[in-house]
Chain A
Amino acid sequence: MSTNIWVWIAALLSLCIFSYLYKDNPAFRFAEHLFTGLSVGYLIVLYWNNYALPYIITPLADKRWITLIPMLIGMMYLFRFVPKLNHLILIPIAISLGFWNGMSIPLTIEADVLKQVQGTMINTSMLSNIWHPQNGLAVGLMVLVGVISTISYFYFSREHKGVLRFSSNIGIWFVMIGFGATFGYTVMARVSLLIARMQFLFTDWIHLIK
């Protein structure tokens, strides 16, 4: 058994969290509330050190007065507490939305459309190796069929009947096989996380495993 009090605290809190698997109980409730409090406290420190100090306080100390503009805009969030000026909260929100949405349009077209169309194209190595299980022409064409049928599942402005029903059904098969693959892959990764936690409990805490 470990003689380090902190290891004991860590182990007991881990058990408090695990206890939720049985059902909600006072131990879990304590750990959950402690977790919330500590993590938000940590967030405050993180914001203070990584954002407030370098982006607000240091520039102001260096008399870079331009920082006052975003500061004033940010302060508009605080008008939430002033009923008459409550609507000013929309200004910083609008700035965030305008900035990110403007950039998002071409970025998304690049990453989710053009790159994906390019990835579905036939290349020369596929033609020279028709039956290769990963990079052959047959595989390329099968991916094309999968992509086209999956897209058809997301067709909204027509009832899924006839050809559209047929292709969207094939699409959903592809989707489900794909999801199964992700599921299986992630299961293996998560099991390794559990093993790591068990190792801590049995090695560092009760020294059952040496």
Chain B
Amino acid sequence: MRRMLTGLILLGTATVLLSAPPGTDRAAGPEPVPLNPPCGVQAFDKPNDAGQAITIQWQASPDEASGLVEGYEVFRAESPEAPESLWVRVGYVPYGFTSYEDQDVPRNGVDYYYLVRSKNQTQSAASGFSNPARSSEQWFNTMRINALVGSILFVIIVVYFISMAKRGQHLFVRRIAGLTAVEEAVGRATEMGRPILYVPGLSSITDVATIAALNILGQVAKKTAEYDTPLLVPNRDPVVFTVAQEIVKEAYSEIGRPDAYNHDSVFYLTDSQMGYASGVDGIMSREKPATNFFMGMFWAESLILAETGAATGAIQIAGTDAVHQLPFFITACDYTLIGEELYAASAYLSREPMLLGTLKGQDWSKAVIYLLLLLGVGLSFLSPGIREFILNLLTVG
């Protein structure tokens, strides 16, 4: 079988070689047509970078259209009169490309000249020299000006509402079913004399969802301390584990029950995603928690956890911003905090005015997004120029 296949491949290769058009058989061509070089070579400092990079652009060789050019070699020298030995080859791009980024410029602030050679297997042709170009570092990335404006605007809105809250203005927050159920869920566990399981997601502290989950853990721990309900917090990330332990310990102290805090209630399980899922499954089957919280970032294990929990008959409250896992939590849990609700939970549960102020700030930012969307789409109908302008304005870099 293998022999037959090799034979077929050889036969195919021979056929292709024999049937190739004469122009492509370079070795056989008696008189190679001289290759045309690219032209219009321009060099300039790469914008918005740390320096030591120059962008080179050129117009393709006219021979590219006839398939004679295989690629372009880019050379750099400190002087246009430099002998050939001092022209350093800095890169190669295949045909079809008409620009190159020289990321290895030796020094900032020094003039460099570039030339580009069109090339195939037998020939090459050099362009004229580029203009002198010098690399430099920038102290502000202009491509990120929109993110800066957006961030500052958001900070201003939020800080304004925090200051309003500080002045004692009443801030209304609508009912969020999943969070209203927290009290009931803790109460149920207490009545049944069973523990509460809190999974703070499977991600690291670099994930803001994890931080949100830890904030909610603080609120839940205060309630379990109050009701003297056992709490189980298995962890996957070592840093998250240390923070979670700190949070639970302090929640118990704050309620005035440091003696009720069990050091082993927040524990490390494993780093393996499925190992963690199997471990938590085991806990759910053996410890039979009355309430399961799944808060933070989750991946495929979400369904394993939620389905096992549902099978044990526990009340389940989940919250995540992982859009791909939300459907599974929705089907298998009693309450699910969708996306932003996870981030609103800490403010909702603590009712701390300053935290509620940020929630109000978030809502006003939504109004700004509405405005941007409607204005942007509305204006887009006016002319192609405006459409282009709006899209450019929103381009991130």
Chain A in direct contact with chain B (Cβ < 8 angstroms): yes
| Chain A residues within CB distance 8 Å of chain B | 17, 20, 23-24, 28-29, 31-32, 35-36, 38-40, 42-43, 77, 80, 89-90, 93, 96-97, 100-101, 104-106, 108-111, 113-115, 117-118, 120-124, 127, 141, 144, 147-148, 151, 154-160, 175, 179-180, 182-183, 186, 190
Contacting residue for A35 out of B176, B278, B286, CB 8 A:
B278
Residues of B within 8 A of A20 (CB): 278, 281, 285
18 A-B pairs (CB sep. < 8 Å) = A23-B285, A28-B278, A28-B282, A32-B281, A35-B274, A36-B269, A36-B279, A101-B211, A106-B150, A106-B151, A108-B208, A115-B396, A123-B380, A148-B370, A148-B374, A157-B363, A158-B172, A182-B326
Q: Do A157 and B324 have beta carbons less than 8 Å apart?
A: no
Nearest CB in chain A: distance from B235 CB, A? 12
Residues of A within 8 A of B390 (CB): 121
Chain A contact residues, majority secondary structure: helix
Chain B contact residues, majority secondary structure: helix
Residues of B within 8 A of A29 (CB): 282
A20 to B53, CA, bound (A): 58
Residues of A within 8 A of B88 (CB): none
| Chain B residues within CB distance 8 Å of chain A | 144, 146-148, 150-151, 154-155, 171-174, 176, 205-206, 208, 211, 239, 242-243, 245-246, 269-272, 274-275, 278-279, 281-282, 285-286, 300, 323-324, 326-328, 330-331, 338-341, 344, 359-360, 362-363, 366, 369-370, 372-374, 376-377, 380-381, 384, 387, 390-391, 394-396
Quick one: closest A residue to B397, CB to CB? A110
Q: Do A183 and B391 have beta carbons less than 8 Å apart?
A: no
Nearest CB in chain B: distance from A43 CB, A? 4
A-B CB contacts (within 8 Å), total count: 170
A36 to B171, CA, bound (A): 46
Nearest CB in chain B: distance from A82 CB, A? 14
Given contacts A105-B155, A117-B373, 19 further A-B pairs with CB under 8 A are A32-B279, A32-B281, A35-B278, A39-B270, A40-B271, A100-B206, A109-B154, A117-B372, A121-B390, A122-B381, A123-B380, A154-B366, A155-B174, A156-B176, A156-B363, A157-B173, A157-B174, A179-B327, A190-B300
Q: Do A120 and B327 have beta carbons less than 8 Å apart?
A: no
Q: Do A157 and B394 have beta carbons less than 8 Å apart?
A: no
Q: Do A154 and B340 have beta carbons less than 8 Å apart?
A: yes
Nearest CB in chain A: distance from B35 CB, A? 38
Residues of A within 8 A of B242 (CB): 77, 80, 89, 93
Residues of B within 8 A of A80 (CB): 242, 245
Q: Do B151 and A105 have beta carbons less than 8 Å apart?
A: yes
Residues of A within 8 A of B144 (CB): 106, 110
Q: Do B327 and A93 have beta carbons less than 8 Å apart?
A: no
Contacting residue for A117 out of B246, B274, B369, CB 8 A:
B369
Residues of B within 8 A of A148 (CB): 370, 373-374
Q: Do A121 and B281 have beta carbons less than 8 Å apart?
A: no
Q: Do A121 and B394 have beta carbons less than 8 Å apart?
A: yes
Contacting residue for A124 out of B269, B360, B387, CB 8 A:
B387
Q: Do A124 and B148 have beta carbons less than 8 Å apart?
A: no
Q: Do B369 and A118 have beta carbons less than 8 Å apart?
A: no
Which 7 interchain pairs have the tightest Cβ spacing?
A39-B272, A118-B394, A24-B285, A179-B327, A39-B275, A122-B380, A183-B327
Q: Do B344 and A156 have beta carbons less than 8 Å apart?
A: yes
A89 to B239, CA, bound (A): 11
Residues of A within 8 A of B328 (CB): 183, 186
Contacting residue for A121 out of B339, B370, B391, CB 8 A:
B391
Quick one: closest A residue to B394, CB to CB? A118
Residues of A within 8 A of B300 (CB): 190
Nearest CB in chain B: distance from A175 CB, A? 7
Interface centre among B154, B274, B279, B396 (most CB of A within 10 A): B396
Nearest CB in chain A: distance from B262 CB, A? 16
Q: Do A121 and B377 have beta carbons less than 8 Å apart?
A: yes
Quick one: closest A residue to B208, CB to CB? A104
